[in-house]
Copies of this chain bind each other. A is one copy, B any other.
Amino acid sequence: MATVTVRNGINVDQLIATIGAIQDQPSSSTFTFKATTEWQDGTLNQVEIKDFVHDGKRVERPQAYRLTGDEPPVLLGANRGPNAVELVLAALGLCYGVGFVANAAARGIELSELRYEVTGDIDVQNFLGMTKETRPGFSAIHARAWVRSPNATADQLDELCQYVQDTSPVRDIIANATPVETSLEVLA
């Protein structure tokens, strides 16, 4: 009777099967993800994330994820949620976390603790229309990780950390240029 290999909560057999399925049918590695935002009032917006497209087919999750975006008072909001650039930092930490844990599992590395603190430095003068000499976005992002493993050496963990950076979707999106096309429809 087959037993399932689960390490760090990752089903390693499923991971290997997923890679095998993509080798058999390369289009099964393609996804289109989606988020919608709806303006409420002032700097307050509601996000909804639910379905995505996998290999050309729509996948509906059983429930939608909703979150509230807002600004702190110093940026004209009322602290009803995190702001957009904070969510970018959160996304990087989440992406690193998933990549680290999954790749550790595939390598036989057990983890007992993994945390990221991600910070980003920004000057809002461009956003406020005061200058074009500074960029609108973060001038720099710093991610610090803390990891604990009962069976890996520091060298193995350092190498894994580098590998995770090299293959991280969100790091790639941030660190390299990603095409963004934006269109507007004016409602009557």
Contact = CB atoms under 8 A, between A and B. Distances in A.
Contact of A145 (B14, B166, B182): B182
Nearest to A134: B29
Label chain A's interface by main secondary structure.
mixed
A177 B85 CA distance: 15
Interface residues of A, number: 130
Which of A87, A167, A174, A176 counts the most B-chain CB atoms under 10 A from its CB? A87
A108 to B, nearest CB: 15
Contacts of A126: 167
A5 interface: no
Contact of A14 (B40, B76, B82, B166): B76
A144 B23 CA distance: 33
Interface string A147-176: 111000010011001000111111111111
Contacts of A8: 41-42
The 4 closest A-B pairs by CB, nearest first: A9-B42, A37-B93, A137-B172, A84-B95
Interface of A: 8-11, 14-15, 18-19, 22-23, 26, 29-45, 47, 49, 52, 54, 59, 61-63, 65, 67, 69, 71-72, 74-76, 79, 81-103, 111, 113-130, 135-149, 154, 157-158, 161, 165-188
